Amino acid sequence: MSGALLVAGTHSDAGKSVVVAGLCRWLAREGVRVVPFKAQNMALNSYVTREGAEIGRAQAAQAAAALVEPEVAMNPVLLKPSAERRTQVIVRGKPWATASARGYQGLKQDLLPVVLEALDSLRRRFEVVICEGAGSPAEINLRPYDLANMGLARAARLPVLLVGDIDRGGLFASLYGTLALLSPEDQALVGGFLVNKFRGDPAVLAPGLDLLRQLTGRPFFGTLPYAPGLELDGEDSLALDAPRGTRPPLGGDVLRVAVARLGRISNFTDFDALACEPGVSVSFTTSAPEILAADLAVLPGTKATVADLAGLRARGLDRAFAERARLGLPVLGICGGYQMLGGRILDGVESGVAEVRGLGLLPVETVFEEEKLLARSAGQAPGFGNFEVRGYEIRHGRVRRSGGDPVFVFDDSDEGCRVDATAGTSWHGVLESDGFRRRFLQWVAEVRGLEWLPGETPFAAAREERLERLGDLVAENVDREALMRLVAGGAPGSLPVVSSRLVGQPAGREADQGSLASGGATRMESGEAAVSFPAAAASAGGDEREDRC
């Protein structure tokens, strides 16, 4: 078979990434050559492909679900916010521009050909492409130059599956309202709905599903039950708010890991492997007492080292880390966090601040360079059982060590720095190396005088088991035949237009954008009711986080 599908959501964090991964794993098990795609992603959690390109972390996880190697075509545009209203624009895996939220809108018309070229490349080489939307397709202020939702669907003639998260409430209003705010041309591509995170009696839900079918003329392709523990690699910092369970310890004690929650925290998936170990509790915190009380305190990566270092000091976390170093309590810094642990930071690239004083806990200094270093790395950890370690690098900062011991060695060189119980490295992903992770945690337990024992399940196996469960979830709860007809044949040509609509709403980038930008009024019709409001209110920018650029 061949075809493509766009999975859109009623809002950010509706479960699009998980649904795409589940569809990819189910299709891959059916022998279909399937691949994920996200035209534009906004995320500080990223991944380095074999060719040295930077893409969103979720697309790498979805590629694993599809049983294919991650590549840059899966995420041609990546946005990495570096300040309150500025973002680094990554195109084809490399830094391309730095733009404001408003300025980025003007760049989109240049990026559409890049997006379509990447999608076309995947469609030529694979049987099915499962595309993930961004934010919500009903963000009408962003529709004229949309790259990731209905703009993509219209340009590539993709059928759309609209996902709603019932666990948050307001499911039916969200599905109906999202569809109603789309132009007739966009509505024609929405083939149906999918309910996500349902818990309860299906018989109670059924009347609502039936009524929405009648109101919209569109089917429900399935209802996915709420299944905790199946989250994909997080991209949005909202993922840090979710409660994290702790597996029962094999020894007598639990290791408490406190990760400093920085304002521009990046690649916090580095710590997923810790949470998979039995008896390891991982929390993200802005509390100095929690940092001081933990068995291991971590300074994670960040997209804004200088700004987050200032925030660290404002909260008094700098004193907590300094006190840990004085007492000989374990501290780990990764990438930007490693840079903070050092002395001088010379940054004329990200922050524009010529020189900043670090925490002074490690004898290293950092100099930022224009060219971003993107690489996969490997070595051994001589101070931790000499286990093999693999990781990846995403950074502008170059760190020079002038004392202490290296954390890793490779070829004729070394990486990282360790002084007593304080260590740092520029490599992300090293805690996924099972031997190193377990020996490192055993060292933490020894320093703290705790009885802690490591598990035996490889982290890769735990991740694979989660992807298999996602595939099962789709296979058991989705109308697979109907979904395959949508993928292969596109949306039916006779779908009705929902009556609520914005009169004069631009159908796409080819329409007159003045209908929303003018100073007049926009009128919304819904049956007999009509509401008027200033057009400026309709086009006002809202929350600028996750995918809303």
Residues recognised as catalytic: 335, 428
Largest CA distance in the chain: 77
> What does the alpha-carbon distance between residue 220 and residue 215 come to, in Å, rounded to a whole number?
12
Q: Are 58 and 42 in contact (CB under 8 A)?
A: no
Chain centre to alpha carbon of residue 324: 31
> What does the alpha-carbon distance between residue 407 and residue 501 come to, in Å, rounded to a whole number?
60
DSSP count for the chain of H helices, then E strands? 17, 29
Nearest alpha-carbon partner for 181 in 192, 193, 190, 168: 190
Burial class (CB in 10 A: 0-12, 13-18, 19+), 79: buried
> What does the alpha-carbon distance between residue 264 and residue 335 come to, in Å, rounded to a whole number?
13
> What does the alpha-carbon distance between residue 301 and residue 264 come to, in Å, rounded to a whole number?
8
> What does the alpha-carbon distance between residue 35 and residue 23 come to, in Å, rounded to a whole number?
10
> What does the alpha-carbon distance between residue 255 and residue 278 come to, in Å, rounded to a whole number?
9
User: Hey, which residues does 203 pair with through a beta bridge?
Assistant: none
> What does the alpha-carbon distance between residue 170 and residue 432 come to, in Å, rounded to a whole number?
38
Listing DSSP states for 40-93 in one string gives EEE-S-EEE-TTS-EEEHHHHHHHHHHTS---GGG-SEEEEEEETTEEEEEETT
What are the start-end ranges of the E strands in 402-494? 408-410, 413-415, 417-419, 422-425
User: Hey, which residues does 162 pair with through a beta bridge?
Assistant: 8, 193
> What does the alpha-carbon distance between residue 55 and residue 517 come to, in Å, rounded to a whole number?
33
Positive or negative torsion for Cα 471, 474, 475, 481 = negative
A 10 A CB-CB count for 361 gives 24
Burial class (CB in 10 A: 0-12, 13-18, 19+), 533: exposed
- The 3-state DSSP class for residue 188 equals coil
Q: Are 328 and 294 in contact (CB under 8 A)?
A: no
Nearest alpha-carbon partner for 103 in 79, 73, 134: 79
- The 3-state DSSP class for residue 230 equals coil
The DSSP H or E segment spanning 517 is helix 514-517
Task: State which amino acid sits at residue 438.
Answer: R
Could you tell me the two tokens for 509? 């980038």
Nearest alpha-carbon partner for 8 in 163, 223, 155, 177: 163
